[in-house]
Amino acid sequence: MESLNDLRKQRIDKLGRIRDLNLEPFAYAYEQTHFAADIVAAFTGEEQESVSVAGRLMTVRRMGKASFAHLMDRSGRIQLYIKQDHIGERSYDLFKLLDIGDIVGVTGTVFKTRTGETTVLAESLTLLAKNLRPLPIVKEKIEDDEKVIFDQFADKEMRYRQRYVDLIVNPDVRDVFIKRSRIVSEIRRYLEGRGYLEVETPALQPIYGGALARPFVTHHNALDMQLFLRIADELYLKRLIVGGLDGVFEIAKDFRNEGMDRDHNPEFTMLELYVAYQDYTFMMDLVEDMVGRLCTDVLGSHTLPFHGRTIDFRSPWKRIGYMDAVSEAVGEEVHDRDEAEIRNVAKKAGIDVGDLSGRGALLDAIFSARVEPDLWNPTFITDFPIELSPLAKKHRSRPGLTERFEAFVAGMELCNSFSELNDPVDQRERFEAQTRLKEAGDEEAMVLDDDYLRAMEYGMPPTAGLGIGIDRLVMLLTDSPSIRDVILFPTMRPEQ
RNA sequence: GAGGGUGUAGCUCAGCUGGUAGAGCAACGGCCUUUUAAGCCGUGGGUCCUGGGUUCGAGCCCCAGCACCCUCACCA
């Protein structure tokens, strides 16, 4: 009788047998004096050091009255050697009742086995938490300095739904999320070090804005009103620029009610930064410098592997104008062409323009199909058409364009930035153009935000703004193929 | 949203042309005081994703559904 239920019953039965030994299977605390990896790194083979380690049993090899096991803590693994004549009969009886997955504390002395593995010779063994549900058994060995893994826990659905199991048995997964955490704290440190203020703005908004996207809608009972989950922080952060905070950033979840794929999750983390008295060229330099800093400080290199190739994050990144990139891709100048001419160019290039209308949308179709996929090493695409950029300032010298750039890496958009539009009259006209698109059925068009315009009418300094998708940045820096590999609990349909 | 794929023991996977459901690891019992993917001997373990259908008989064929994965479309 050993279905999952029976395996659980066996282990629940062990709880009683452990209590029969006068031991409690769920402890309150345990004093750790060392972490596994530190012991392994520091031990020379001489000293008779006593250590207390705590963690999860990952392997057990029993040989009658003596056994070896591996314990895993936050730092890594260390081998345990448990001998009945060392820890006593009662503790060894306890050990015989333990399973892979149990959490234990062990005090003992460090030594090296005959085969040279640094090991803790146990003097005492404490059960800290009994496992009742069998863990996937992943085995590994080192062959020709390569780690070979057997029976890896690989089912993506189970890995995402039960991330706790994934984290226990797949050390690479754990490494990715540790790196993610370091990347975010390094960004904070970088920005705080330059005097920018971290702020928090509403996630529940009566009017959504700051990006072109469909929102999630919710309802507030007490106010009996519709609220939207933010699709961007942008308009609130720029209100703070009006308010004189001059340099503000926010690292927060945005929510967009759209499709999901390798690089889209409905909730995702965005860094937005606004700096008064600067323009988009300042922001380009900042992005290049900050990402470069992350490469060296977190990953230890400016050239990183990604999808079997290498990404070179060294400065300076390539910079190319949007219209130049499109012209080059189709082998034809598109700068001064009107909508009909650009439609023809797109068709000639074999791009399905379907029912697209508007010069900007057509250019974007060409850009997405012919330019974006080929941008492997970090590249700034600059000076986007005004139709695509309702919150960006008109280019100071090139009509029809805005002072805006996006950085692309490995065919993926990494960030979006512009010299912020600070002319309230111009901004009102752009909003009105968006309203016309919305009335024509564009569900992603922006909604006019009167309070934002009111704020801008009080006077907004020239400002550079930036948004970086943190999830995508982490994907690039950790060679992760899917956004779900860098989000601890990606959005899933519920089970059953 | 479209197309393709996958779903069998706790985990990783076999399962032929439709004929009583298999392996390794894990578990359980026995032996074993320097092992390491996996010592030796033995035992048990299944909603074959779900619901219909065809058939004497379905893990396998048909229909519908669910979940996940991949590609494409939209989007950051």
- pLDDT (tens place) for every residue of chain A, 496 residues total: 468 888 999 999 999 999 999 999 999 999 999 999 999 999 987 777 899 999 999 999 999 999 999 999 999 999 999 999 999 999 999 999 999 999 999 999 999 999 999 999 999 999 999 999 999 989 888 877 788 888 889 899 999 999 999 999 999 999 999 999 999 999 999 999 999 999 999 999 999 999 988 899 999 999 999 999 999 999 999 999 999 999 999 999 999 998 888 889 999 999 999 999 999 999 999 999 999 999 999 999 999 999 888 999 999 999 999 999 999 988 888 888 888 888 888 888 878 777 777 888 889 888 988 888 889 999 999 999 998 899 999 999 999 999 999 999 998 899 999 999 999 999 999 999 888 888 887 788 888 999 999 999 999 999 999 999 999 999 999 999 999 999 999 999 887 6
Using a 7 Å CB cutoff, list residues 125-154 of A near strand B. 134, 136-141, 150-154
The answer to whether residues A266 and A260 touch, using CB atoms and an 8 Å cutoff, is yes
Interface ipTM = 0.92
Distances (CA, A) of A296 to A151, A327, A419: 34, 35, 28
Element (H, E) at A194: none
Q: At A163, give phi and psi (nearest 5°).
A: -60, -30
Distance, CA of A257 to C1' of B1, in Å: 14
Domain regions of chain A by residue span: 4-135, 173-317+377-485
Using a 7 Å CB cutoff, list residues 53-82 of A near strand B. 59-66, 68, 79, 81
The two three-digit tokens of residue A305, written as one number:
């592997």
CA A456, CA A424: separation in Å to the nearest integer? 6
The two three-digit tokens of residue A465, written as one number:
């703004």
Distance, CA of A115 to C1' of B32, in Å: 20
Say how far residue A220 (Cα) sits from the centre of its chain.
Answer: 30
Say how far residue A204 (Cα) sits from the centre of its chain.
Answer: 22
The two three-digit tokens of residue A426, written as one number:
């111009």
Kindly determine whether the C-beta of residue A189 is less than 7 Å away from any atom of nucleic acid strand B: no
Kindly determine whether the C-beta of residue A405 is less than 7 Å away from any atom of nucleic acid strand B: no
Q: Considering only the top CATH level, what class is A4-135?
A: mainly beta
| 3-state SS, residue A106 | strand
The reply to whether omega before A25 is within 30° of 0 (cis) is no
pLDDT at A1: 47
Buried b (16+ CB within 10 A) or exposed e, A357-379: ebbbbbbbbbbebbbbeebbbbb
Kindly determine whether the C-beta of residue A469 is less than 7 Å away from any atom of nucleic acid strand B: yes
**Which residues, in sequence order, are CB contacts of A476 under 8 Å at separation 6+?**
A304, A306, A311, A409, A410, A412, A414
DSSP state of A388: G
Distance, CA of A103 to C1' of B48, in Å: 34
Kindly determine whether the C-beta of residue A457 is less than 7 Å away from any atom of nucleic acid strand B: no
Looking at the DSSP assignment, which residues form a beta bridge with residue A66? A63, A83
Which CATH number describes the domain made up of A173-317+377-485?
Answer: 3.30.930.10
Distance, CA of A388 to C1' of B61, in Å: 54
